[in-house]
A and B are shown apart, each in its own frame.
Chain A
Amino acid sequence: DVVMTQSPLSLPVTLGQPASISCTSSQSLVHSDGNTYLNWFQQRPGQSPRRLIYKVSNRDSGVPDRFSGSGSGTDFTLNISRVEAEDVGVYYCMQGTHRPPWTFGQGTKVEIK
């Protein structure tokens, strides 16, 4: 199974400042069809997960443009350009290239300093 490793696991941030979460996979996530099936999810306290980014860098409808995804191969990043209070929660990366199983990172908890 592909192991997804996130860092940091805890990220205290100041409102209005940028934040960055790293996700590394144990093998390349480039699929034989040329796509890279790496998604990012946000889980606010007490809520279901919500997809923010699919296939590395595509923002879902309704997701603020302060969220962006980048990366390739085995190294990926979720960036928040200016953190707002509503961004508090846990963020997960997930790979769907080498499936089954779909595998998630451990999660990164974003909190306000």
Chain B
Amino acid sequence: QVQFLQSGAEVKNPGASVKVSCKASGYIFTAYYIHWVRQAPGQGLEWMGWINPNSGATECAQDFQGRVTMTRDTSISTAYMELTSLRSADTAVYYCARTWGLDVWGQGTTVTVSS
């Protein structure tokens, strides 16, 4: 079945960077875009951006431009999302999800930013 396995929880200091991975299985990795969505504690869902695993093209939300980099390694069917210049407001669970309709989600990666 289609599933995503995300990397483990991270604790970072303000100003640091974090890189979250999302390993796909059960389908052809390059056939569907992968999106990133985050959820701050007790809050709703916020779309961050997408990557086309076939071409490597990306697009991200205006709020994250200049701070987020999305990449992929097709040899291991894995997408990555790196967020830099972390601040406390970036404390959240980060999810990867498949295609425009977000039909399948990863289990989430908790990122805590704290000094």
Contacts and interface: CB of A to CB of B under 8 A. Distances in A.
Interface of A: 37, 39, 41, 48-51, 54-55, 60, 92, 94, 96, 99-107
B103 A92 contact: no
A54 B62 CA distance: 25
B103 A104 contact: no
Interface of B: 35, 37, 44-47, 49, 59-62, 95, 97, 100-108
B44 A94 contact: no
Contact of A39 (B44, B49, B102): B102
- Residue among B46, B62, B95, B105 with the highest chain A CB neighbour number at 10 A: B105
B101 to A, nearest CB: 5
Contact of B106 (A48, A92, A99): A48
Contacts of B45: 41, 49, 92, 94, 104, 107
Contact of A103 (B47, B102, B106): B47
Contacts of B108: 48
Nearest to A102: B47
Contact of B44 (A48, A54, A101, A107): A107
Contacts of B101: 37, 39, 51, 54-55, 96
B43 to A, nearest CB: 9
B46 A104 contact: yes
